[in-house]
Structure formats: C-alpha cells, structure tokens
Amino acid sequence: MLLFIILSMLAFLQVQALASPTRVLVTGAGSSVGMEVFKKLLKAPSKFTPYGLVRNAKDAKVLITLGAAAEQIVIGDITDRSSINGMFEGIDKAVLCTTAQPQKSTVFRIKQFFRSLVGKKRAPRLDELFYSRGYSPYEVDFLGQKNVIDMAVESGTVKHIVLLSNMGGYSNSSRVNEVGKKLGDPNSGNLLKWKRALERYLIKRSFFTILHAGTLTDDPGGKREIIWDVDDNLMRNGYKKIPKADVAEVIVQSLLWKEAIGRSIDIAARGEGTGPTKDWLRFFSLPGNNLYPSDLSEQ
C-alpha cells in the first residue's frame, strides 16, 4: 500500500512538472516588439512565466503596470555583463529583442519643431541619425548580444533561444548600414552586418530560431496573414512590412513549436483581412532555411 502511495505521488509530481509553465526571459522587454512579446506571455500563464530585461526603472514600471511582478523584472545592460549576472538562473528559453536604437540629431529635432508649426514634419534622413556613444550596432547587436548568448549557454538551463533580427541583410548594400558609419572605423554603423555576425555566432552555440522581420508598423495584429521566405525574397516581391504585434505572435509560436527550432526565416505580412495565421505547424514545417552570404566572414 505504501509503495502504491509513493508511486502515485511520484506520478503526480511528474505530471505537475510536465505542466509547469515555461520560464522565458525577454531582452528588450521595455519597448517595441519585446514589450509585445512580454504582454502575450503574461496573458498565457498556464504556458509561460515571462521575465523581462529592461535598462532602467522607468521601463520596469511599465512592465509592472502590464501585470508583471517585481521578481519578473531584471534591470541591466547587455553591454555590461556584470549588470546581468545570474539573470538566466532557472530560465528555460530566451527571446532576444534588444537592438541599437539610432537617435535623431539636434539639428534635425530643431528643424522638425519648426516644420511641425506649419504641418510639414518628415522622417529623418540617414545622415540625420546617429548612435549614442557605447550603444552602436557593434556594441549592442554584436558584443552585447554575445554576452546574452554566452550567459544563456553557460546557465545550463536555457534550451532554446529565439532571436529577432531584420530583413535586408542578405546584401551589404542596404542603406540602413550607413547610419552611424564613420570613416576609418570598421566597427561603426553596419547594423545589418553585425546582426548577421551575431546570428552566425548563435547558430553554433544553441538551439535557435532566427526571425528576420520586415519594417515594423503599429497596425493592429491578427488581421493579416503572416508569410515567410528566405534571402530577402519577400522584399523583392513587395512584402516589406509587418505589424509589431504580429512579429510578437510569431515569436510566441516559435516558443511553442519544436518545428521552429533550427529555422532562420524572413517574415512579413499580407494586406489587412488576409489573416490571421492559424496553422503554425505548417508554417514552421515548410522546407527551406536562410543561407548566409559567404562574404560575411565570422567576426
């Protein structure tokens, strides 16, 4: 009888363990797609327990207003490894949404103010953008993200890393690479180059899913069919945009489906009214992964 009780308790505990929510750490959870991912994970407590990495207390308060507990928030900077030590303790999966953010020049902001007075505001040109010191693509998207990947692998608990990247990197000619580029400094600018270098680093070290998103929009999610291809084919065929909420949904689905592991794909969305995508098994099972251009050497 005692043996039966013990075996029953062990079986119960095993079922409970299998049913435990997946603990997911999201970097860049304080803004943009990272926040959208965090919100979706919060809304599925039976499947996920999300943890968010943010850079400051202001972003931490935002996550708390969304319903996160204080213990689910880590304040740190991926470019400073000492500030994020231990953040992967007990974490099962990771979502990397951090990226270098270009800033608008002072001259542009002044001119934009006067343009706004006459209703003629415009988007900044590439030469009117720059990266803050210490937060260039090389420092954030490559060195900083390497810190995160290394720590995830070293933790011994993280079994899957989902990396959000960008379309447009298959060719070195993308104009996005010109932002912040300085003559004589090979590490400056080159956002897409450093993102691709980081991807190559990741695929050699962990189970991964890499998603190259098109230009992000604030359109509502769940109203468009999400499509994928490789090697910037979507851009060449006119599919260049995708709502942030839809990117977040692909990321969440990547955490749920084992078929997403090992995938490196570009994602974009069709017009409104064509979605939402529902057959995620088929979505991740279609053949073909991205091939990396040979001229992007290992960094």
The tokens describing 217, both together, are: 């929009």
**Which pLDDT belongs to residue 118?**
87
The verdict on pTM exceeding 0.85 is yes
User: Residues 199, 165: contact at Cβ < 8 Å?
Assistant: yes
At 185, is the secondary structure helix, strand, or coil?
Answer: strand
Rounded to whole angstroms, the Cα distance separating 299 from 296 reads 9
Using CA atoms, how far residue 267 sits from 71, 251, 260, in Å, is: 33, 11, 13
Each domain of the chain, given as residue ranges in start order, spans 23-100+135-285
Which tokens go with 120? 């003629």
Over its length of 299 residues, how does the chain's per-residue pLDDT go in tens digits?
A: 555 555 555 454 454 445 699 999 999 999 999 999 999 999 999 999 999 999 999 999 999 999 999 999 999 999 999 999 999 999 999 999 999 999 998 988 998 888 888 888 888 888 889 899 999 999 999 999 999 999 999 999 999 999 999 998 776 667 889 999 998 999 999 999 999 999 999 999 999 999 999 999 999 999 999 999 998 999 999 999 999 999 999 999 999 999 999 999 999 999 988 888 989 999 998 876 544 433 334 43
CB 44 within 8 A of CB 105: no
Pick the CATH number of 23-100+135-285 from 3.10.150.10, 3.30.70.930, 3.40.50.1260, 3.40.50.720: 3.40.50.720
Q: How far apart are CA 186 and CA 175, in angstroms?
A: 16
Hey, how many other C-beta atoms are within 10 angstroms of the C-beta on 129? 18
How many other β-carbons are positioned within 10 Å of the β-carbon of residue 265? 23
Peptide bond into 293 cis (omega under 30): no
**Contacts with 77 (C-beta within 8 Å, 6 or more apart), sequence order:** 55, 83, 84, 144
